[in-house]
Amino acid sequence: MDIFLRTRGDFPILSQEIHGKPLIYFDNAASSQKPRSVVDTLVNYYETSHANVHRGVHELSNRATEAYEKARARAALFLHAERAEEIIFTRGTTEGINLVASTWGAANLKESDVVLLTEMEHHSNIVPWLMLKERLGIQLRYIPVDPEKGTLDLTDLGQLLEGVKLLSMVHVSNTLGTINPVKELCTAARERNIITLVDAAQSAGHMLLDVQEIGCDFLALSGHKMCGPTGIGVLYGRFALLETMPPYQGGGEMIETVDFDSVVYNVAPHKFEAGTPNIADAVGLAAAMDYLDDLGRGRIYEHDLMLAQYARERFGALEGVRILGPATERAGVLSFLFKDLHALDLVSFADRKGLALRAGHHCNQPLMKKLGTDATARASFYFYNTVNEVDQAVEIIEGVRRKLLG
């Protein structure tokens, strides 16, 4: 689309050369690039408005507090939350999931209680629950992945949901590109009074998200994957649940009053944001949300889908390649591998031609084991990527394959 081609000028980093070759940045699932408007917002904040937030009485503190709380309201609008108090700022999706596990999980789960995950979860949505298993003796159960289709096998969903206290699931797989039916899964869980958490790290900047329509109790996202700064993210939580949950960490800001032998905690969301928050990056994240909504998240989704399907067709024509994930209706993530060429070698040599891919297990070791490999190469796309870049990437990969395999 012409509108997206014009956006490339908003991203200075994309105009550079790597090893003397024009940069083709296909590592967006790991971290997206930042438009000038986000960078300018950060600079403006630090040059004109920085101070510590809340409880300040001087002008700079008032400005910083207003900007920070406006960012919270912006995130609520972005996710269509009912109220700004349902937005907790975190360092990213990983911390959001850990917060839920450490607060709601520790307060509501006991030995032998069941948490249901999927076999395509990122480590950030497995390890916190394994840690809770070590502490409390909870049980973990997994919705299986069909290795051929790259989708969840929901045949026995009713049975899998029996006795479950919490269902935590990824919206878009960072390896397979699968878009999971989170709304339907949340509906099935809600009918059984099961709490739900959605990992939206790979979907938040690529499609419209409406937490009320999805019907989830929690949803976590990372700013750096959606044109925002690193080190900032959002955890959405249904307010009635947040009110009942204990704090995540202790310190300043998360208290109402403190005495030598007692403490009264602050209200949500502040009781989950101990210490000085990441003010500047919250403001930068709000700017990223403005940028994405100006483009139109629906149009971004359509562009991602077009590019992913085109890339799957082009990459799939390469000799000896194996493409993972669904054939259609996929997000802009394409993992692939060659039988006699390790992903790390492929990606290393591709870098010399200016092509930025990702190689490894993508924090999906259990899934990789099920798929029968230890690593894949991964190309992941965003609205500033083009069909022409896909064609160039195919030429580069084919050249590397011929060079290394003969």
How many angstroms separate the CA atoms of 204 and 2, rounded?
A: 23
Neighbour count for residue 72 (Cβ, 10 Å): 23
**Residue 342, C-beta contacts closer than 8 angstroms, at least 6 positions apart:** 375
Residues 6+ apart with CB under 8 A from 213: 80, 183
Reading the block at residue 86, the tokens are 């349902």
Cα-to-chain-centroid distance, residue 230: 12
Residues annotated catalytic, as ranges: 363
The Cα 282–Cα 199 span in angstroms is: 19
CA–CA separation, 295 and 6 (whole Å): 11
Instruction: Find all residues with CB under 8 Å of 195, minimum gap 6, and list them.
Output: 104, 108, 165, 166, 167, 189, 217, 218, 241
Provide CB contacts within 8 A for 374, sequence distance 6+: 361, 368
Using DSSP bridges, classify how beta strands 145-146 and 151-152 pair: parallel, antiparallel or unpaired: antiparallel
